Amino acid sequence: MTLSRRVFSGLAVLVAALSPLVAGAEPVVVQAMLLAREADRAAEAKQLPVWLEKSEAAVALRPDIPRFLVALAAAQVANDRPEDAVATLEKLAALGLHAAVDQAEEFAALRGRPEFSAVAKKLAANLRPSGPGEIAFSLRDMTGLIEGIAWRAKTGEFFFGDVQARAVWVRGRDEKVRRFTTADDAILGVFGLAVDEANGALWAATSAVPAMEGYAPDMEGMAGVAEFDLASGALRRVVLAPKGNLPHVIGDLALAPDGGIFLPDSGAPIIWRLASGAATLERFVESEEFISLQGVAVTRDGGALVVADRINGLLRVDLSARSAQLLPSPPDTTLIGIDGLALAANGDLLALQNTTMPKRVLRVGLDDGAVAVTRVSVLDSGHLNLAAPSLGCVATGGDFFFIANPGWSRFEGGGGRPSAPRPVAIFKTKP
């Protein structure tokens, strides 16, 4: 399979899944993905002009999506436009990302061209580690899937969500790690965490996934939020999202200033809210812009959420209007593939980008109203242990602590079995 075809593997399935969600109101990203699918079909049929036309149209709509750039460059080579192909690859290099174009068969016609060699070197240089790549500490001999992290300023404790063991672990000032919660069938896989000092609670996003212990097919789509006693770890309650046509997957949450909890749903285009004192989740906002929701953070003024969409980028949700809008990335930047989000003390967002090559930690500046992205800078990138950064939190000294590699690959195939004991590295970086 060629590089550009690998780029689009699974795209048709995703687009087909999106079709019923957008209900005729296709957001720009879906329009671009549909064009990319048409381009891929044209490539298969050797319809070279159509391949080029559709690829150009996809990039015109979303020039920040790396896979569209790779596919367009391949189409330009096939249509005997080598200079344009190199220019397109220069745009990919400017994003700070990599693609192995020097080894890909569809770019063979460019080999020997000095300008192609130059851009291939730029792409390769983007893989070089940058930033401190500092490991703050490691969780020793872990056998679970460590996805979530939260810090309690009052005690200096770090809490960790374990998807496989359906548990929360705690690391105290003495640096010892112990299980914080006891086994309970009501607890599903534990993902993102939030400390609620005012209510003495630890909140956890919880979802049934095949990687967790005790998973059964009839549990698919079960997801919600669990509340634990912050002092003892005792389970207070689990509040699940109501069943619907789409399976729910809730992997992160954010605590609002009024005590409400916001929960993005990766399985359905919904952000749920558990209002302070409420007993059920409400559909707070739904949007056709929601494709694959991931991490979430409340803005510094408390008036909005910023939510990461793995496919679409960052979106702002106005809490008063209950409306969502895309936050376009500045030129020569991309906000695709972000998982975890956290808010720095100055109002910047700290983002973990784990589906790009290389994996990166970003600082994303917002304007005063958090209605536009003003700048994007790379804090860490390309480190060996930075295999799949997931979720993070701001902790000691304002540093950003995050899980560098939860270990999802160790739990592929389901079964919910623990892995062999291993260290889980917790990185930190200064915002």
Lookup: tokens for 250: 């809730």
Query: What distance in Å separates the CA atoms of residue 241 and residue 280, rounded to the nearest whole number?
Result: 8
Determine the average pLDDT of the residues in 423-427.
98
Instruction: Read off the pTM.
Output: 0.94
User: 139-189, pLDDT tens digit by residue?
Assistant: 999 999 999 999 999 999 999 999 999 999 999 999 999 999 999 999 999
User: 259-296, pLDDT tens digit by residue?
Assistant: 999 999 999 999 999 999 999 999 999 999 999 999 99
User: 319-339, pLDDT tens digit by residue?
Assistant: 999 999 999 999 999 999 999
Give SS3 for 67: helix
User: With contact defined as beta carbons under 8 Å apart, do 423 and 404 qualify?
Assistant: no
pLDDT value of residue 55: 99
Query: What distance in Å separates the CA atoms of residue 14 and residue 4, rounded to the nearest whole number?
Result: 17
pLDDT value of residue 12: 47
The set of residues, in sequence order, having a beta carbon less than 8 Å from that of 330 and lying 6+ positions away, is 373, 374, 375, 376
The set of residues, in sequence order, having a beta carbon less than 8 Å from that of 385 and lying 6+ positions away, is 133, 135, 404, 405, 425, 427
pLDDT band, very low/low/confident/very high, at 396 (cuts 50, 70, 90): confident
Residue 26, number of CB atoms within 10 A of its CB: 16
Query: What distance in Å separates the CA atoms of residue 341 and residue 225, rounded to the nearest whole number?
Result: 18
In the chain, the amino acid numbered 202 is L
Tell me the pairing of strands 157-162 and 167-171. Answer: antiparallel
In order of their start, the domains of the chain are 3-125 (1.25.40), 134-429 (2.120.10.30)
Query: What distance in Å separates the CA atoms of residue 94 and residue 298, rounded to the nearest whole number?
Result: 30
User: 248-265, pLDDT tens digit by residue?
Assistant: 999 999 999 999 999 999
CA distances from 120 to 97, 99, 115 (A): 11, 8, 9
Is a pLDDT exceeding 90 seen at residue 13?
Answer: no
